[in-house]
Structure 1
Amino acid sequence: MSHTPDNVAEKPSSESELSASDRHALLTSDRRRLILDVLSGTTTPIELKELAAGIAAREDGIDATDAAIRNVQIDLHHNHLPCFDAAGLIVYDADGTVVDPSPLADVRFTVRFDVGAEES
């Protein structure tokens, strides 16, 4: 069963970039930013449990419990990975619980700060 999150556009049919609104929706969550951190520099598929362990370690410290890892794994499976998959940033095989981050290799997220007029 495929589920497309309401807050992210359908998978782009071409090499088009994500809209600013889509990028914002994807990066609003701390956990989603941690997903990008764990997957950065990786182009080979990773098991969901391994990804969850990396995120739990960053959130709870090196000694994340099995329960914490399982909670992260469930959250990733139901909430976050479908959003990245729908945006075309990863390929998530929910049945096999494998995350292929290779589409991220060509993506750069940049942060711009608009600086207003200086106060007098």
Structure 2
Amino acid sequence: MVGGKDRGAELDTLFTTLADEQRRILVSYLADAPTDTFSLDELVTALGRRTKGEHGTSDRRNIEIDLRHKQLPKLAEAGIVEYDVDEQVVQYRPSESSVATADRILSSVAELHAD
């Protein structure tokens, strides 16, 4: 039963992490990119482009603060990225189980919308 509890905790963390729209946008960008290593500046630019107009601002400073203090630490805690605070470098490193779980969830949601 310990494995079930661990799996449940992993799912809780994944759901909590991906419940935030900014993190979903960020993970989508990371997953679609041709590389797995990103500078903080690159992510600020990418997030600014993807959210411009949706939230009424693309203020780089606010986006950078949000990424550094909220979004990237949460993604790192969930095991989706490795975030080097000193170097300001992010590596996209989702665990195989979190990717498989996310794929199953997205497939289930797509099936529900198809019905």
Q: TM-score, normalised by structure 2?
A: 0.69
Aligned residues: CA RMSD: 2.8
Task: Kindly state the Cα deviation for residue 96 of structure 1 after the two structures are TM-superposed.
Answer: 1.0
1:76 equivalent among 44, 58, 67: 67
Unaligned runs of 5+ in 2: 1-6
- In terms of fraction of residues, the more helix-rich structure is 2
- Of the two structures, which has the highest relative contact order with CA contacts closer than 8 Å and spacing of 6 or more? 1
Match of 1:104 in 2: 94
Identical positions, percent: 29
Q: TM-score, normalised by structure 1?
A: 0.66
Q: Which 4+ residue blocks in structure 1 deviate beyond 4 angstroms? A: none
Tell me the matched-pair count.
Answer: 96
Q: Give the direction of change, closer, same or farther, for the CA distance of 1:30–1:92 in structure 2 (3 Å limit).
A: same
Instruction: Spell out, residue by residue over 1:9-50, the C-alpha distance to the aligned partner (whole angstroms, 9 max, x if none).
Output: xxxxxxx78632212111111100011111013443110111
Q: Give the direction of change, closer, same or farther, for the CA distance of 1:54–1:94 in structure 2 (3 Å limit).
A: same
Q: 2:83 is paired with a residue of what secondary structure? A: strand
Unaligned runs of 5+ in 1: 1-15, 116-120
Residues of 1 paired with 2:50 and 2:32: CA distance? 17
